[in-house]
Amino acid sequence: METTRQQKIAKLIQKELADILIQKELNVYNAMLTVMKVSVTRDFSIARVYISVFNATDKQQVIKAIRSNSREIRYELGQRVKNQLRIIPELEFYIDDSLDYIENIENLLKS
């Protein structure tokens, strides 16, 4: 169960990461990215970021590219939220496949 503070920080990080990734996605990732959810640990040291990847042939490759640029993304995040957060959390990126799961369930129900 997340505290109110964790939820506020997660929403702030989600909003800022969405802006950062929008700027980068056309140049670097060649895919459409959506930050679906962010969860922050109790000590605010780690932020787990769940990203949906669209229009990509290999989603794992896109996530791997994002992970390799995580230091740069964290620095950019730090520049944007330096007045709100004292410590910028480490970023862990994961594929959010909940939309694929929902689509699969709907296809199974139709058939």
State the average pLDDT over residues 35-64: 90
User: Would you list the domain boundaries of the chain?
Assistant: 4-110
Distance CA 76, CA 107 (A): 40
| DSSP letter for each residue of 26-79 | IIII-SEEEEEEEEE-TTSSEEEEEEEEES-S-HHHHHHHHHHTHHHHHHHHHH
Q: Which CATH architecture has domain 4-110?
A: 2-Layer Sandwich (3.30)
Rounded Cα–Cα distance for residues 4 and 27 (Å)? 36
Which amino acid type is present at position 92? E
- Share the mean pLDDT of the chain: 88
CB 76 within 8 A of CB 34: no
What global pTM score does this model have? 0.84
CA-wise closest residue to 11 among 79, 95, 85: 85
Average pLDDT of the residues in 18-42: 83
- Angle between helix 59-68 and 70-81 (nearest 10): 60
For the segment 59-83, what is each residue's pLDDT rounded down to a tens digit?
A: 888 889 899 999 999 999 999 999 9
